[in-house]
């Protein structure tokens, strides 16, 4: 599934069965569960009012346009590993799979 706008989680859980690409923000409070890979792009900014935990059975990729103008905050759990590129990350990155790791590129 591909979203060119924001994903809004409102005091609950949003479950996506399959890969998800978001070309915008993830906002709200709650949990976003992706049964697949999650890619978030296009200068993401998650502010302090956003309290979203992201859980993925695959890989999580966070891609910004530069750490000075792109930031993301929250809890990220991925069984397939995590990659953050050109983005400031505040929070926890948990890579839990047997071959999973965390890769930070200019972040």
pLDDT digits (tens), the chain, 107 positions: 666 567 878 888 999 999 999 887 787 888 999 999 999 886 555 555 667 889 999 999 998 888 888 887 788 999 999 999 998 888 889 999 888 999 999 87
CA-to-CA separations, 21 to 7, 48, 49, 98, in angstroms, rounded: 10, 22, 22, 24
Token pair for 34: 């992706």
The answer to whether the CB of 95 falls within 8 A of the CB of 78 is: yes
Residue 46's pLDDT is: 54
Residue 52's pLDDT is: 80
Residue 50's pLDDT is: 67
Token pair for 61: 């990729």
Q: Are strands 82-85 and 102-105 parallel, antiparallel or unpaired?
A: parallel
Residue 59's pLDDT is: 96
Q: Which candidate, 90, 75, 78, 8, places its Cα nearest to that of 37?
A: 78
């Amino acid at each position: 599934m591909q979203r060119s706008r924001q994903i809004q989680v409102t005091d609950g859980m949003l479950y996506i069965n399959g890969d998800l690409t978001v070309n915008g923000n993830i906002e709200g409070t709650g949990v976003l569960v992706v049964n697949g890979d999650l890619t978030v792009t296009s200068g993401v900014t998650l502010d302090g009012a956003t309290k979203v935990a992201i859980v993925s059975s695959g890989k999580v990729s966070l891609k910004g346009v530069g750490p000075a103008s792109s930031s993301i905050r929250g809890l990220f759990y991925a069984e397939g590993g995590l990659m953050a590129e050109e983005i400031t990350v505040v929070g926890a990155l948990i890579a839990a799979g047997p071959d999973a790791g965390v890769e930070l590129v200019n972040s």
